[in-house]
Amino acid sequence: MSRTGNCWDKAVADSFFKSLKTELIYGDKLISKEQMRLQVVEYIDL
């Protein structure tokens, strides 16, 4: 399961969520769930 190119390898998803958390979520003040949803959608569209 740890071979390169294995379809169960989730490195791409892990990398995306790490970037999302680092660039968008961490360091932000607490905001409402709706505001966070809009920011995440905007982040993905860029």
Query: Which residue segment(s) compose the domain that 34 sits in?
Result: 11-45
Q: Is 24 helix (H, G, I), strand (E, B) or coil?
A: helix
The number of folded domains in the chain is: 1
Residue 3 lies in a domain: no
Residue 33 lies in a domain: yes
Which amino acid is located at 21 in the chain? K
Supply the DSSP symbol for 25.
I
Residue 4 lies in a domain: no
Residue 39 lies in a domain: yes
Residue 5 lies in a domain: no
The pLDDT of residue 18: 92
Instruction: Output the CA torsion 29→12→15→21 (10° steps).
Output: 0
Question: Which helix (H) or strand (E) is 34 found in, with range?
Answer: helix 33-45
The pLDDT of residue 1: 55
**Residue 37: pLDDT above 80?**
yes
Residue 24 lies in a domain: yes
Q: Model's pTM, two decimal places? A: 0.62
Residue 6 lies in a domain: no
